[in-house]
Structure 1
C-alpha cells in the first residue's frame, strides 16, 4: 500500500459522516476486501507442508475473524478470551494457545474447547498442563517455546537471543524435553521458535527459518523425537516510517523454498503466525482536527481522538503516517483557523504531553474541521489502547467490503 494515496472508499465514508452527523469525525475504518485478498495471497503462495495461522492479538474483532476463517488454516490465541472469540465463529477451526502467563482455569477451558496445540513456556507450565489435562481425562498436545541463544539484531522487537519473559532458555532444552516426555498427560508435538517481530528483511527471515530448522533437526536426532510441527511464529514487518520500505513476501517465499529443499524433516509441518502483516494495511484511523495552535514556536493540531484510541505510535515512538482529508463543512460564524506549509505535531485530546501521534510533519494546508487519516492502523490499534482514560467517547468501528461494488 502507498500511504501517500488517499483511499477513495475511506474518504467517501468520512465525507458521508460529516453530511449526516454534527459531532467530529472519530473512527476506525476497516477494509475487509483487502484483508481477505492479502490473506489469500499469503496462504496461496506458501510451499507445501506449510500452514498459516492468524495471530489474532493484532486485531481480534469478530469481523476480522469471520473474514479470515475461510482463508487461514487456523488462529493463534494468547488468552482464553481470544479462544472464546474463535469458538463463537467456529467450533472446530484449529487454534494454537500461546502466551507467557496462562492460568489454570484458562488451560482447562482451552482443553475443553479443543485447542489444537498449547505453547509451553516453562517447566512449571509443562507440569501444570499435564496435571490439568489428567484431571480432564485427556492428553494435551504441546510445543515447547524455546528462547534461542542466537542474536537477532535487525528487527523492531526481539523476543529471543537475550533475556526475555518468553520461552524456555535454549540451554534447558534437554531438561524440558525429558520432562515433557515423562509427564503422562502430555504429547510433545514439536517446538515454537518465535524470535523476532516486525522484521522487514525477507532474506533474513528465510535465514532465520533455516536456523530454526537446524536446531529442531539437531534436537530430533539427539533425543530420538517424533515431531509433527515447527512453529516459526510471525514477525513479518510493516514499515510505519518509510513508505518505500516493505517486507518482500515473494522474495521470502522464494528463499523459504530453497531452505525447505535443502533441509528435510519428513512429517513435520512448518507453521506461521502472522498478525500485523495481514491486518495493518487493512485499517485506518480517522480523527477530526478540533483546534490549531502555536505554542513556544511549534504548531500543534489537536484531534478528537488520540493515543487512548490508537496507542501504537506512542508505544513505538514513531510519527505515524497520515494524510489530510480536507472537508469544507464549517458551522461557526467566525473565520476558520488554518495553517499553510508548516510542520505540525499531532496531539490528542488527553491531558498528557505524551498523547502525540506524529511529530513535526510538514503539511501544505490544514484547517480546523479537516480530518487526519492515519494509514496502517488495522493492527495493534484499538485493542492495545487505554480506552477509558478521561472517559472520552469511544471511536466508531466501520467495516466495509466492496467485493460486490458496495460499501457496507
Structure 2
C-alpha cells in the first residue's frame, strides 16, 4: 500500500493533470497467489480466469505461478499465447464460433469446455476435417440445490452449460464421436461465494454427480473442473473468504471422495487479482444538491464499472494532497456523508453512496481498494470519449 500512496503523491507533485489511474502491486499479487497454490492439495490445479483482468503484466506475473489460464474467447487465447506458447489453457464460454473452435485447435488449447450438443457436433466435424482429436469437458447446469452467491450460473435457467436433465443423452453422443475425447465435466455454478464450508460441500456435490455419470456410462475421467466462484467481500474488508478453512476441509474430503487418477481444477479470477489493484480518481468538485453532497471525480464507471454493476458502494480511502493551484479558497467538507460520482452524463455513474469521511477537499484523491478484478476489463471505456486512465504496474 505504501508504494501505491507514494506513487500518487509523486504524480500530484509533478503535474497539474488530475490523477486517474489503475495501479497494480505485482509483488502483492505474486505473494497472494503463490500462497494459495502452495496450500492446495496435490490432486488439484489452480488456473487463473483471465476475464477478471487480462492486462499482459498481470498475465506475465501469474504465468510462472498458476497451473494455467482459463479463457472465454479467441482474443483471450491470443493474449495468453503472446506470453507463452506452452502454458495450459482451458477454454469455456456459452457461445463459440467455428473460428474460435478452430483457434482452440490451432493454439493447442488443453481442454475445451463444451456447453451444448450443437457445439459438440460442430467441434467433432471440425476435428474430423483436420484429423484431430480434441480433449473436452462437458459443462453442466446442475438442477441444485446450490449455495447462494452474488451471481448464479447454475441451479436455475441460464445460458450456461447443458441442462442436467439432458446430460445423459449428450454423454452418450460424445462417447460415440471419434474425434472428441471426453475427459470430464465442468460444473462452474456460481460466483462470489463467501462461505468456505459451503464451497467444500459444493465441490463434494460436484464429485457425487460426476461419479454417478462415470459409473453409468463406464467413463474413465481425468478432470472435474469445479470452476471459480470464491468470493471477495467488498462490504467488509476484514471478513474475507476463509481460505485456510477451505483447504483444511478440502483435503480430507478429496481423500475420501476423489476417484483415483482424477484431478480437480479451480479457475479463479476475482479471488486472485482483486486485492492487488487500486483505482485512483482525483476530486474535481464537491457540491450539494437537494440535501446530498457529491464528490465528482476524474473518471467514473466508464473506467470502473464494478460498483454500479453489482450495485454496491465500493470501499475507498481518501489520499490527501496539499497541492492547490488556484487563488481562491479550497472547498472542503468534514464528517459529511458523500456520494462519489464520475464525469458521465448519467445519474447511474455512482461509485459509492452516502459514505461519511473525516475530511475531503477538492484536489484530494479517492483511492478505491480491491479494484484489480472486473474493473477496467468490464467497463465501457469510450462512453462520452473521456480519456482513458493510466495503468501503472508497481513491482
Give the equivalent residue in structure 2 for 1:338: 332
Q: Secondary structure at the match of 2:268?
A: coil
Q: Deviations over 1:261-302 (max 9, x none)?
A: 221301111100011001000000000000000000000000
62, 71, 75: which is aligned to 2:65? 71
Q: Are 1:239 and 2:233 counterparts? A: yes
| Cα shift at 1:198 | 0.4
Are 1:370 and 2:364 an aligned pair?
yes
**2:7 counterpart residue number:** 13
Does the aligned pair in 1 maintain the 2:147–2:198 contact within 8 Å?
no
Once the two structures are overlaid, the 10-residue window that deviates more, 125-134 or 25-34, is 125-134
- Cα distance in 1 for partners of 2:3, 2:115 equals 44
CA distance in 2, matches of 1:294, 1:283: 31
Alignment partner, residue 26 of structure 1: 20
Unaligned runs of 5+ in 1: 1-6, 402-408
CA distance in 1, matches of 2:280, 2:61: 22
Equivalent position of 2:341 in the other structure: 347
Classify the secondary structure of the residue corresponding to 2:156: coil
1:19 offset after TM fit, Å? Answer: 1.5
How far apart in 2 are the matches of 1:263 and 1:370?
A: 54
Q: CA deviation at 1:77?
A: 0.4
Q: How does 1:150-229 map to 2 (within 5 A)?
A: 150-229=144-223
* Distance in 1 separating the partners of 2:370 and 2:237: 11
* Structure 1 residue 245: Cα displacement: 1.5
Instruction: For residue 244 of structure 1, report the CA deviation from its aligned partner.
Output: 2.7
Render the CA deviation track for 1:4-51: whole Å, top value 9, x for unaligned: xxx211110001111212210000000101111111111101111110
Following TM superposition, by how much is the alpha carbon of 1:383 offset from its aligned partner in structure 2, in angstroms? 1.2
Runs of 4+ in 1 over 3 A off after TM superposition: none
Determine the structure 2 residue equivalent to 1:406. none
1:134 — aligned with what? 128
Query: Secondary structure at the residue paired with 2:284?
Result: strand
Q: Name the CA distance, whole Å, in 1 between partners of 2:366 and 2:130.
A: 52
Partner of 1:46: 40
Whether 1:110 and 2:104 are equivalent positions in the alignment is yes
The structural deviation recorded for 1:153 is 4.1
Give 3-state SS (helix, strand or coil) of 1:260's partner.
helix
2:305 to 299, 308, 311: 311
In the alignment, the residues of structure 2 paired with residue 261 and residue 182 of structure 1 have an alpha-carbon distance, to the nearest angstrom, of 32
- Structure 2: 5+ residue stretches without partners: none
**How far is 1:324 from its partner?**
0.3
Distance 1:100 1:66 in 2: 27
TM-score w.r.t. length of structure 2: 0.99
Within 2, Cα distance between the matches of 1:153 and 1:259? 18
8 Å contact 2:277–2:373 — kept in the other structure? yes
* Contact persistence 1:305–1:348 (CA under 8 A): yes
- Alpha carbons 1:151, 1:162 under 8 Å: kept: no
How many pairs does the alignment contain?
395
- The 3-state SS of whatever aligns with 1:245 is coil
Match of 1:400 in 2: 394
**Equivalent in the alignment of 2:350:** 356
Alignment match, 1:293:
287
Q: Describe the shift of the 1:347–1:264 C-alpha distance in structure 2 as closer, same or farther (beyond 3 A).
A: closer
RMSD of aligned Cα (Å): 0.7
Deviations 1:170-195 (A, max 9, x none): 11111010111112211000000011
